[in-house]
Amino acid sequence: MKTVKLAYGKSSLEVAVPDQAVVIEPRHLTAMPDEKAAVLAALRQPIGTAPLKELVKSDQTVVIVISDITRPTPNHKLVPWLLEELAQVPQKNITIINGLGSHRANTKEELVQMLGREVVDTIRVINHDAFSKEQLIKVGTNIHGSNVFFHKEYVKADFKIVTGFIEPHFFAGFSGGPKGICPGIAGIETILDFHNAKMIGHPLSTWGIIEGNILQGAATENCLMAKPDFMLNVTLNGDKGITGVFAGDVIEAHRQGCSFVKDHAMYEVDAPFDIVITTNSGYPLDQNLYQTVKGMSAAAQIVKQDGAIIAVSECSDGLPDHGNYAKILRMRETPEELLEMINDEKFSMFDQWEAQVQAIIQLKADCYLYSSLEEETVRQAKLKPVKDVESTLNQLMNAHGDNVRIAVLPLGPLTIPYVK
């Protein structure tokens, strides 16, 4: 047996697995020796645009869009460095919009955790509210016939900056880039259209695919209706250190970042596995079960039909209690019935996309969860609660027989495996 350290909350969980278990992790890239110097260099020699300082005039209003607390973007580093580069702009002219999509508002304490006390005390920071019509303005209609609404202050700003980090994404191909705007600061009508059952269920709406991915295509088309003037995205290692900086044009720089991530985060295996143990990369990504579907989806790429997935995710924020995800999971008895309900064109409820992906995974494999949630809560979410990962693994190994194949994703969706 060998011991594997699984990311779990703000610490980790050690689990003994058979020696033959395949452990799949990102090829470790060391963090840049001087992260600040690397970011400032990227702002001064960006991809596809002039240097940031040359683009922004001192009398302009500037909006910086950030990702919320469910993402590990190092806003506490990136935003102060951006502000330093924009020293010619008065602080009163700058607004930071927390791009929540349809997630809950972050508290002041969380904003301080995300941005640092000095930024929160000196710069105006607002939570995007997808449900507030007063906050939104229509910027156009896309090729799918969807009305596109974005945050009004972003649209009206003289200079627009979007930040974020790039990793493989379970239906948009990759995070970052245009997704910082859509769904980050989009209205709920736009978010619902963007995540509709047809788009989520499309075969190319999956990890690591940009070309032909209709979800990434819609995010891009929508974003370009009120195009950011500048993008700052980074890539991270398992320790949340910055491994790459991609700044400049929101499409060109993002695509370069996606190529970099694909080279380092995608992992080929020869054949599928009977049992896959996964995580959701620890805190902040494993705060709730809704986000944990990503880790389950990574495991589903390499699990056999009728295999088993054990997800290890703290879920300190519950399912969560806000939003519709928990409610949707309780609306039908089985994953099959859930999918049938969600695929009905008359059905439309925000958060349905996460329930849809979960149901698709459950049609392929039995799904188990080790978390801080009550057992009954886990059962209501259609999953099997786990008290002890090793004993559950042993039971599953016995059920699958002598030649059982096991894979472990200690950092969950930071590595996306695929079958050759």
Residue 238, pLDDT score:
79
Separation in Å, CA 16 to CA 5, 309, 390, 415: 9, 16, 7, 21
Q: Which pLDDT belongs to residue 200?
A: 92
CA separation, residue 163 to residues 244, 257, 331, 353 (Å): 14, 13, 37, 24
pLDDT at 164: 97
Low-confidence ranges of the chain (pLDDT < 50): none
pLDDT at residue 125, rounded to an integer: 98
pLDDT 10s digits, 92-132 = 999 999 999 989 999 999 999 999 999 999 999 999 999 99
The pLDDT of residue 28:
81
- Indicate the pTM of the whole model: 0.85
pLDDT digits (tens, 9 = 90+) for 193-212: 888 898 999 999 999 999 99
* pLDDT score, position 215: 94
Provide the residue type at 129 as one letter.
D
